[in-house]
Structure 1
C-alpha cells in the first residue's frame, strides 16, 4: 500500500468501530486519515498502515452522506478515486463519488465485513454456526424455559408451570397446600415467559415479611435480577421519574404500596405484562362494602395487566367469600355474583364423583354416575360405548381419555390449581425427640419473680427492651439484657442446652443438623459458646449477613468433603428463609417461635418433596419454662410436629393471646390445650367437608407431568452443552479450571469481553456445576444449563453481533491445487419482531449452509461442516486481507450464487413451520371452543387472543426472510511436510 489519495475511503483493521475513514493527506512516509464518525484522526506509516480500502461492487448498498441509500450497478475509477453508479430507493439513477459515502456507515453484515477485510477468528465462526444450530434445537424443545431454574423436578409443579405459561391469558390462582411450592410454580411460569419473550416486565407484590425470601428465591433459584423497591429507594431515584419503571422485574411490599396513594398511581401507570400477588387471601372484599385499599389496588392493576398469578391459601382455608373475591380479581365479568358462584360450587361434587367413578369402570354404578354427569356430551357417551366393547388392554387409555375430558370440560383447572399432600405424596415422616433439661437458676429467678408479681413483667419489658412474649420465651436474651457487668458470666456457660448440643454431636458422628433460633443474637452467641467450649467453628446464618456471606456459611455446612465443613449450621428465624437444606434430616430447635406458621416454616426447610429420610426434630426444652409450655401447646393442641395441616394460624388467631397469658400457668395451659384441640378438629372437619375434590383431581396430570420431567432431564443431560461451553469460554476469554467433585471454576481471563453475567474483569469468578443435585445442595455453586444467564449471553453474542460472521481459513489438501477458493455461507431465518408471540417455538433461527467451490459447484451435501472444520487451519490476518482484495470479484459472484441457492430452500422451511403452527394452534382452538361451550371459566377473550395469535404468527412466518449470517473463505494450500 504505497499510493494514498485524499478523499479515498478506508477502514482501520484494528479499530473497525471507528467507522469509515477519509484520507486527508499523505507523503512518502505517512498517511493521515480522518474518522469523522468517531471524531478521531489517525496517522500511520505508509509501509505498515493497518488500513483496508473500501470498494463496493454491483448489488451492494451504500449509505450516502445525505441519508439516501444507493444500490450499486457498476463502478468506475477516475484518477484513483471511485465513482459509484446505481439507483436510489425511489428508483432514480445517481452517481456517487466515494467521498460522499456516509462517514457513519458501519460494516456489521457478513458480506460487507468479508469484502472489507474485517475478519474474525476461525473458532469464532465455528462457534457462531454451532450456536445457531443449538438455538434452533433448544427453542423448540418442550422443556425450554423450565430446565434452567435450580429446582427439584417435581411433577405437579412442572405440570402447572407448563400449562399456565402456554396460555394466551395466564390468569390463575395457585392454591397448593403449604409446602407444595406455590412460589416455585410462580417462579417457573415467570422464568419461562421471560425467556420466551412473552413477558418483558413483571410486578411482584408480597407481604413485607416475605420480600427477602422472594428476593432470594428469584435470584438463587431462577437467576432473575430483581429490583426490590421501597420508599427509600424510590426517593433516591429522579423525582420526575416513575420508580416502578426502574427495573424489568420489580418486587415490592404490599403494605408499602397499599398505604401510599401516589405510589399506587405510579404502579398503575407503569407498563406491566405480568402481576404476581402472594398471600392473596388477605385481600379483603365483601358484597356489601366492597374491597379494602389493598384489594382495590390489586383489582386496578389486574384489570390493566394481561397476566395475573394470585398465590393464595386453599379455598377451605380462606373460605368461600375470600375464594370468590380472589376469582373476581381474575375475571370480574365471569365472577360477578356470589350466590351464583356458590351454586356452581355445589355442582362440582357431581363431576368429582364422575371423575372418581372412572377408575371403577366397568361397574354399572360407575357408568351411571359418569352418564349423569356427561349430560348431552356426545363425545363422553361415545367413549363409554367404546369402553364397553374394548378389551382389558385398551381400558387404561380409554379411562385416561374419559378422566381428561371430564376434568378439562367441567373442572376448574382453568382458573385455579390446588394440590394437597394427600394427592401429591412423596413427603417424609416427621419424628419428634424432646429432651427435657433442668431450668438454670439464673433463668428460674426471673420467672419466679414474674409468677409472684404480675407488675414485674412490665418492668422486664421496660428494662430489657424486649417484646412480650419474647421476654419469657427466650430467657438468654432477657438474661443478657439485664446483665450489667460485661465481665460477668455469659448465658451459654450455664445454659444446659449447650451441653445437650455438644452431647448430641458426639452421639451422631458424621451427621449434620440444622440448628434454628428465633433471634440472630441467640444464634451468634450460641456459635461463640460452641467455639469456646468445644473448639468447634460453626457457621452462622442470619438476616444481617450479605448474600455472599450466607452462601459461604451454607456451603460450609453443605459440603462434607471440605476442610471447613461443619456438622452444624446455626440459623436465625428469617435468616433461613428461601433456603433448601433437605440434604440434612436432623432439625434442632434450640427454641420455639411464637407463631405456628413460623414453626412450620422451620420444619419446611427440611421437610420437602425429595427428602429421602424421615425428619428428626430435636427440641431441648427447659423444664417448667414458658418454652416448655409453648412446646406442649404445639404438640398436644396443634399436632404441629407430625404433619402440616394449615390450621395452626387459624387456631392461633383465636387463642394466641390466651396462650401467652398461660405460659406460666399450667392449669390454664391444660384447659387451653383441650380447647385449642377441639377447635382444630372441628375446623378440620368443616374444611374437609367443604373441600372441592374436583380441584384436587384437576390440579395435576401425572402423564403430562412425567413427560415434562423427562424433557427437562433430556436437557440436563445434554452432552452437547459441555462441548459448546468449552468452545464458547475460549472464544469469549473466560478461563475454566476443573475442581474436585465435578465442579469447575470460571473466572475472567485477561482478554475476556466485557459484560459477561457474573464475571467482572479483575475480580473473582464463580464455581459451577452441570449437576442439578449438586446445585440444589450448595447455594454457592451455580448450575450451568442452556438457560443460565452466562450461557444465554454467550449464545446471544455469538449469533446476534458480528462476532465470527466473516473468516478465512486454509485447507491443506493434496488432491486440490493450491490457491483454489471455496466459500462456506451460513444463512439464517429472520422473523419479524413478534417476541410476545414466541414464534421460535415453530420457527426458531434456522440455518441453511451453502458450500461452493470457485467454479460454482455446490459441495454442501458432500462435505459436512464438522468434517471441514477439523481440516482447517488459521492464517495471519494481514495475509488473509490480501487474499480477499485479490479475489473481490470472484467472492461477490460466489456470494450471489450462494444467496440464490439458499433462497430456494426457504419455502419448504416456512411451509413446515406454518404447518406445525396451524396443527398446534388449530387443535388448541378447537379444544377451547369445545371447553367454552361447557366450561364458563374459558373467557371469550382467550379465544379471541388465540385466533389473533394464529393470524399474527402466520403473517410473521410468511414474512420471514433468509439473511447471510456468516461466511468463511477457504483457500487451499499444499500440505506441510
Structure 2
C-alpha cells in the first residue's frame, strides 16, 4: 500500500514555487496532489514521486488557513496525520491538523528550506557566502558609487562628486568651464545617490537639443535607464495617470515643460528626490519678475530636497543671473542682490590670503593672512609655522588653506573649475586647406552676389533655412538638381578629393570627420565608397544606439578586419561620444554657432588626450563657408582656444555675421568689432574672476585619495574570482576574445532577468579594463557596480538561491556518517535605508560551524578550506539524510543561533561608534562653519542631527537572521 494519505502536506521538489500541496487521493500506482496556492494539480507515480513531506518541529512558526501564526510546542501523529500543538501570537493554546495549514505558505527561509529538503547546489551556497562578504566590504569602501561609471579618473570631478554626494541636502551649482565635465560630475553624483539608496527618483531637465546627449551619457557612462518624456509619449500613457511617474529617472525637454502649465503641475506632484537642470544660465530672473522657465524650476526646487544646477561660467551671464541661480538653491539665503554683491567683493581679501599662504613665512604674506581673518585657529597655526621644520610646513599650509576655504569660501553652494587650474589639456593646431570653388557651386553664389532677391527665391526652392542655404552648398546643389538631371555633388566637390589625398598622406592614422547635416555625411560616405572603394562607417542621429555602437567600434578598433581610418559624423549624431583615442579632426564644413564648433572639437580635446589636436578645415575659396572660418579663426580664436566667450560674442554679432557671409568688406569690419568685444569681455571676466571659488572647487589631496580609492576597486582581483563562480551558478557563458576582452552570452540554463542578456539572443563584449572600455563604446566595463553584477549580487544574497545545501566531506580521521552544520547569519538593519546605513553597518556575516556534539569549529576550520574539501551528493539521497536527522538538525540550528547572537553585540557597538564619530564630527564642523559662512544652512545641520538619531536607532535595532545553512556529512575517502 502507498505511504500517502489524503490530507497530508507535501511540497514538490522540482516546483517549490507551487507552495504547499495537499494529497487528494492515491492508489497503488499514483498520487494526486492539489497545490491550491498556485491553483495547480499534479499526479505522480507513487514509486518515484518528487515530493517531500512537510513536518514542523518545536519552535517553528506555521501559518494557519485563518491567517493566524502558530508557534509549535510539540507534534503528535494520529493515523498517519500530524497534529501540531502550540500557541498563537496572542498566547492562546491551539491544536492544528496539518490539513489546516495555509495553502499559500511559502518556504524561502534557510531553516524551512533545509528541513523540508529544498536543497541548492553547493556552489550556490559558496557564492552566497562570498557575495555577502564582498557586499560587506565594498559598501563601506570610499569609492563605492563612483568606481563603476565609464569615465576617466579626473581628480576635480571625483572630488566634487564625493563632496556633494555626502551632503545631507545636496543643493549645488556646478559651474565648471566648458570641457571640464559638468555632465559627468552630475552623473557621478546621481549614480552614487541612486546606488546608496539616498535618491530613488530624479527629474532631469535639459534644453531640447541636448536630450539625446544626456540620454546617451547616462546610459553609456553610468548604465542608468532613463525615461525620455515628451508630449507624444505622455499622451500614449493612460490619461488618468501622471506621465512623470512612469520612470525612476525622467529626462525631459525644458522647452516642452516650460510651455505647459498642466505638465508642470504633474511634474510637481510626481514626487522627486533630486532635480537636475542643465544650462541654468538661460533661466531669467530680476527683482521685477521672471520668465516661465525660472518660475517652473523655482516651483519644482521648492519641493525637492536635492537640486543640481549646471551652468556656464557665472561671469559670462552676469552678476544678476548668477544671483538668480543661487536664489533657486536657497531663496532665504540669497534674497537681496545688493547684499550679495557686497559679500562677493569681500571674497577678494580671502583669495589674497589663500594665495599668500604659499609664500609663508614671508612677513607680508603673514600680514595678508592675518588681515583676512581674525580666527583663533588660524592665528595658532601661524604661530606654529614660526617654529615648524621645513618638512612640517607644507602640512600647516594645507591646514591653513583648508580652514580659509571651508569657513569663508562659497564651495558649500557652488563649484567651478577653470582650465588654468585643472591643466592637462592638449595643444590645438589648425590646418586650413583652401580649395577652388567648383563650377557647380559658383553659379549659385555669383547670382546671390548680383541679385539680392535670389536668396528668398532660393530658400523657397530648396526648403533650406538661412544660413544653411549659404554654408552648405552641397545641400543647395542637391535640392536644385531635383528637377534636373546631373551628377552628384561629391563627384566634383574638391573637398572629397582632398580627403582622399589626406588618407594617402596619413597611412595608419585615424580621423573623425564632422558634417553639419546627416545627408552630407551619408552622401560623403557613399562618394568615398564609389571613388575609393573605402567603406566608411557613418554616425548620425537617425541610427539606433546599437547601430552607432557598431559604427564607433569599427572606427575605434584598429585590429578589426572592418576597422576604418575614418568615422563620418553628423552634428547631432556625435553628441555624447568620446573619440579621444584619435587626434585628427576633419571639419568637412563648419557649424553656424561657436558652441557647436567647440562641441565638435571637444569630442577629441578632453582631459586625458595625450597628443596635440590637429584640426583640418578644407574650405572653398570665396565661399560663405570660408567667411565663417575666417570669423571663427581671426575674431574668436575658436579653433585654437577654449575660452567660453564665443556664445556671448555670437549673441551680439550673429545676425551681422550671417549678413556679411557674401560681403568681404563687411566681414573684415565685423572681425575687428568681434575681436574687440572678445578682448573686452575677457578682461572683464578676468577682473571679476572669483579666485576664491576656483581655489575651493578642487581639493587636490582629496582628489588624489579618491583616484586611489577607485583604482583599488578597479584592480580588485577578488571580483574576477567571484565572477567565475557567479557565471557558473547563473548559467552565463563566457568566451575569451583577448587578454582583456571577453564575450558574455546566455547559456541554455541561464536564469531569467539578467541585465543585458536575454535567453536565445546575443550577448555583449565586456572588459575589466577602464582604458579598453573608454576606447570602445561597444564594450561594457565590468565592475562591482555594473547592473549585471549588482543583479547577481542581489539574487545571490536576497533570494532563496544557495540558502540551503548538503555536501559530503571525505575525511579519514572522522567516522563516516557524522553530521556538521555550517550556519551563515547576517545582520538586518530594517530601517533608514534611505540614509545608507550600510556605510557604517553593511550586511555583516557571522559564520558558525558545529559538529553533531555541539562543539564549535568556526575558528579551527576556515570557510575556504572546508569548501575545497566538499563534494556534491544527489538531491534524493540528500533529502533522505535530512529526513533521518531532523531532530538533530533542529537542535544544532537552535544552538548555532545562540552562538551567533553572542557575536552581534560587538558588531553593533563598533558600527554605532563609527557612525557617531563620523557624524558628530561633521555636525560640529558645520556648526562652526555656520558662525562664519552663511552658505551653511540650518536645515542641513538639522537634517544631519536627524540622520544621526535615525541611524543610531536603526543600528541599535539590528538583528541577526539565519541567511544560509549547509549540512555536511562525513564519508569514507574514496579509494
Q: TM-score range by the shorter chain?
A: over 0.9
Matched, 1:611 2:609: yes
Equivalent of 1:970 in 959, 968, 971:
968
Q: Name the counterpart of 2:205.
A: 205
Matched, 1:363 2:362: yes
| Separation of aligned partners in 1, 2:257 and 2:739 | 46
Q: Name the counterpart of 2:797.
A: 799
Kept in 1, the 8 Å contact 2:2–2:27? The answer is: no
Q: Deviations over 1:680-730 (max 9, x none)?
A: 000111111111111110000000000000000000000110110111011
More off after superposition, 687-696 vs 841-850: 687-696
Q: Name the counterpart of 2:108.
A: 108
**SS of match in other structure, 1:616:** strand
**SS of match in other structure, 2:758:** coil
| Separation of aligned partners in 1, 2:49 and 2:597 | 74
Q: Name the counterpart of 2:293.
A: 294
**SS of match in other structure, 2:143:** coil
| Separation of aligned partners in 1, 2:726 and 2:483 | 62
Q: Deviations over 1:120-147 (max 9, x none)?
A: 0110000000000000000000000000
**In the TM superposition, what is the alpha-carbon distance from 1:833 to its structure 2 partner?**
3.1
| Separation of aligned partners in 1, 2:482 and 2:925 | 74
**In the TM superposition, what is the alpha-carbon distance from 1:7 to its structure 2 partner?**
1.1
| Separation of aligned partners in 1, 2:283 and 2:51 | 68
**SS of match in other structure, 2:185:** helix
**SS of match in other structure, 1:934:** coil
**SS of match in other structure, 2:466:** coil
Matched, 1:251 2:251: yes
Equivalent of 2:884 in 878, 883, 886:
886
| Separation of aligned partners in 1, 2:418 and 2:281 | 17
Matched, 1:147 2:147: yes
Matched, 1:719 2:717: yes
**In the TM superposition, what is the alpha-carbon distance from 1:486 to its structure 2 partner?**
6.8
Kept in 1, the 8 Å contact 2:2–2:26? The answer is: no
**In the TM superposition, what is the alpha-carbon distance from 1:950 to its structure 2 partner?**
0.3
**SS of match in other structure, 1:570:** strand
Q: Name the counterpart of 2:776.
A: 778
Matched, 1:14 2:14: yes
**SS of match in other structure, 1:454:** coil
Kept in 2, the 8 Å contact 1:283–1:292? The answer is: yes
5 Å-filtered alignment, 1:115-154, equals: 115-154=115-154
Q: Name the counterpart of 1:735.
A: 733
| Separation of aligned partners in 2, 1:262 and 1:484 | 45
Kept in 2, the 8 Å contact 1:315–1:691? The answer is: no
Q: Name the counterpart of 2:93.
A: 93
**In the TM superposition, what is the alpha-carbon distance from 1:371 to its structure 2 partner?**
0.8
Q: Name the counterpart of 1:378.
A: 376
**In the TM superposition, what is the alpha-carbon distance from 1:835 to its structure 2 partner?**
1.6
Q: Name the counterpart of 2:172.
A: 172
More off after superposition, 945-954 vs 736-745: 736-745
**In the TM superposition, what is the alpha-carbon distance from 1:487 to its structure 2 partner?**
5.1
5 Å-filtered alignment, 1:417-566, equals: 417-484=415-482, 488-566=486-564
| Separation of aligned partners in 1, 2:130 and 2:585 | 48
Q: Deviations over 1:904-929 (max 9, x none)?
A: 00000000000110111111111111
**SS of match in other structure, 2:967:** strand
| Separation of aligned partners in 2, 1:409 and 1:951 | 26
**In the TM superposition, what is the alpha-carbon distance from 1:484 to its structure 2 partner?**
3.3
| Structure 1 runs not aligned, ≥5 long | none
**In the TM superposition, what is the alpha-carbon distance from 1:78 to its structure 2 partner?**
1.1
**In the TM superposition, what is the alpha-carbon distance from 1:741 to its structure 2 partner?**
4.9
Q: Name the counterpart of 1:29.
A: 29
**In the TM superposition, what is the alpha-carbon distance from 1:740 to its structure 2 partner?**
2.6
Q: Name the counterpart of 1:343.
A: 342
Q: Deviations over 1:789-844 (max 9, x none)?
A: 00000000000000000000011111111111000000000001322110000000
Q: Deviations over 1:175-204 (max 9, x none)?
A: 000000000000000000000000000000
| Separation of aligned partners in 1, 2:28 and 2:349 | 97
Kept in 1, the 8 Å contact 2:736–2:743? The answer is: yes
Q: Deviations over 1:33-76 (max 9, x none)?
A: 11111111111111111111100111111111111111111111
Instruction: Find runs of 4+ consecutive structure 1 residues off by over 4 angstroms.
Output: none
Q: Name the counterpart of 1:899.
A: 897
What RMSD over aligned residues (CA atoms) do the two structures have, in Å?
0.8
| Separation of aligned partners in 2, 1:468 and 1:499 | 28
| Separation of aligned partners in 2, 1:370 and 1:67 | 73
| Separation of aligned partners in 1, 2:226 and 2:757 | 18
More off after superposition, 1-10 vs 224-233: 1-10
**SS of match in other structure, 1:241:** coil
**SS of match in other structure, 1:931:** helix
Q: Name the counterpart of 2:320.
A: 321
5 Å-filtered alignment, 1:378-417, equals: 378-417=376-415
**SS of match in other structure, 1:823:** strand
Equivalent of 2:755 in 754, 757, 771:
757
5 Å-filtered alignment, 1:64-79, equals: 64-79=64-79
**SS of match in other structure, 1:484:** helix
TM-score (norm 2): 1.00
Kept in 2, the 8 Å contact 1:315–1:323? The answer is: yes
Kept in 2, the 8 Å contact 1:279–1:311? The answer is: yes
Matched, 1:950 2:938: no
